[in-house]
Amino acid sequence: MEVWFIILMRMDIHAGILTATILALLSAIFIGRLGFRSIQAARKLTFYKLRKQRFSVGWRLVFYALALLACAFWLPFYGEPIAFSYFPPSPTATLTPTITLTPTITLTPTITLTPSLTYTPAVTDTATITPTPSVPIGIESVFQSNVTPDPRVYFSIQFSNESNVFPTVNPTTVFQNPVGHMYAVFTYTDMVIGTQWTALWLRDGQLLHYETFPWDCEACSTGGSGYTDWNPAPDEWLPGNYEVQIFAGEVWAGSARFLVQGDAPTAVASHTPTPTLTFTPTTSPSPTRTP
């Protein structure tokens, strides 16, 4: 028992829900099998009272098996959002890589000259700090909602180019061209109804696509799952580092990155240009005078 407790403590919420689903499904199969065996054995008994007891036990086991089976189907869709509402995850800070300077080769002169003047650089290069993601002013100007978001709001994002359902189908962070239709499937917690929701799609820091609207999913309460997608032309999937940033109002609620490798497909011309004939003027010979 202690071993199982330690294993469950080391799991995250997603892995715990998946483990509970598998255990419930296996338990339902095992208990249902015992129930059917008890019912079959009861039919062979001669005494009415014993047969009735065996039937009662068998049907009770079958009922328990159906309840566990329903629980196994319910957990993958609703278990994780409910768990997130009680144990909200905290955003993980993204580490900013530091720039490593490559030393240059220093030539050793044969004659050392004594400098007469020492030059002091007027400007010293200082490493800049990566700012917290924010909504561009142009997008913020079209906001339709003034609802104040919960500062604890958080979105967890995974990428797939196969489906927009949750759990995410074959999630990954590296895609090969042609990419096609991309889905950013997410789970969220502490989302207030009516808050302005914004998703930004960027490549190497440049904004490519966005969507923003008031959050009106009243049936989702404060936790659940959803997706944002982008389906550009195939030749727009240039190789590079892509990032999706999600905001609740002006509050940064989560972001994730993925990599696209390989050259983008070449755009096909919609029509064939028609050749244009160009006429070259020809000079006529001038008349010759007869003396």
**Distance between CA 80 and CA 188 in Å, rounded?**
10
Residue whose C-alpha is closest to residue 257's, from 95, 113, 121:
95
Is residue 234 predicted with pLDDT exceeding 50? yes
pLDDT mean across residues, the chain: 79
Which pLDDT value is given to residue 187? 93
* Residue in the structure block whose two tokens are 């909602």: 145
Instruction: Look up residue 140 and give its DSSP letter.
Output: H
Which pLDDT value is given to residue 267? 73
Which pLDDT value is given to residue 119? 53
Which pLDDT value is given to residue 288? 46
**Distance between CA 11 and CA 257 in Å, rounded?**
23
Strand 154-160: give its sheet, edge to edge: 154-160, 182-189, 224-230
Q: Which of 65-79, 156-170, 270-284 tops mean pLDDT?
A: 156-170
Residue type, 199: A
Q: 229, 185 in Cβ contact below 8 A? A: no
Tokens of 155: 């979105």
**Distance between CA 208 and CA 206 in Å, rounded?**
6
Which residues in 204-274 belong to E strands, given as ranges?
206-214, 224-230, 240-248, 251-261
CA 84 vs CA 5, 17, 119, 174: distances in Å: 20, 11, 60, 27
More confident residue, 97 or 65: 65
pLDDT tens-digit map of 175-199:
999 999 999 999 999 988 889 999 9
pTM above 0.85, yes or no: no
Q: 144, 211 in Cβ contact below 8 A? A: no
Q: 213, 144 in Cβ contact below 8 A? A: yes
pLDDT tens-digit map of 34-46:
888 888 887 777 7
pLDDT tens-digit map of 73-123:
787 877 777 777 776 665 555 555 556 666 556 565 555 555 555 555 555
Q: Percentage of the chain surpassing pLDDT 90?
A: 38
More confident residue, 132 or 48: 132
Q: What is 137-261's CATH superfamily?
A: Macroglobulin (MG2) domain (2.60.40.1930)
Which pLDDT value is given to residue 20? 84
CA 88 vs CA 13, 39, 55, 122, 155: distances in Å: 10, 46, 46, 50, 10
Is residue 127 predicted with pLDDT exceeding 50? no
Which pLDDT value is given to residue 291? 33
